[in-house]
Amino acid sequence: MPMFAFICRDGGDKSEARRTHLIEHLRYVESIVDHMVVGGPCPPTAPFDLRQFEASLMVYKAETMSQARELLENDPYYKNKIWDSVETLLFNPVAGTYIGGTTWDIVDGQMIRKANAQTAE
């Protein structure tokens, strides 16, 4: 099933708004967790502070981009304008612990796709 990544930028200090809508947001995430690959907040890199956020990254599994966008737009953080901008990307994971390593082998200098590779294709 295709995967879609959303980079949702706060565009300023939205700490108070995030706190206000946190429980509603978390309940929504629980209700759609079967459609989520991963999601979470992105703290600023300078100064590094895990209590502050400048964006969120959400990756959804959906048949179409419009279905994934609908999942995002129903999120209370989206509805309450926590995010000032949203970038949408088609996402195809090919390496990492989520997919159990890599989706390829290199044989005789050639990349060969593994038969059991878990990609978005």
In this prediction, residue 56 carries a pLDDT of 96
Alpha carbon of 45 to those of 12, 48, 50, 52, 108: distances in Å? 14, 5, 9, 10, 42
In this prediction, residue 115 carries a pLDDT of 80
Alpha carbon of 18 to those of 8, 46, 51, 116: distances in Å? 13, 20, 11, 40
In this prediction, residue 88 carries a pLDDT of 97
Per-residue pLDDT of the chain (121 residues; tens, 9 = 90+): 999 999 999 988 898 999 999 999 999 999 999 999 999 999 887 676 666 788 999 999 999 999 999 999 999 999 999 999 999 999 999 998 878 889 898 999 999 988 866 555 4
In this prediction, residue 75 carries a pLDDT of 98
In this prediction, residue 118 carries a pLDDT of 57
- Domains along the chain with CATH numbers: 3-113 (3.30.70.1060)
Name the pTM for this structure. 0.82
Residue 113 main-chain phi, psi, to 5 deg: -70, 130
| Separation of alpha carbons 84 and 11, rounded Å | 5
In this prediction, residue 114 carries a pLDDT of 87
By CB atoms closer than 10 A (0-12, 13-18, 19+), residue 56 is buried
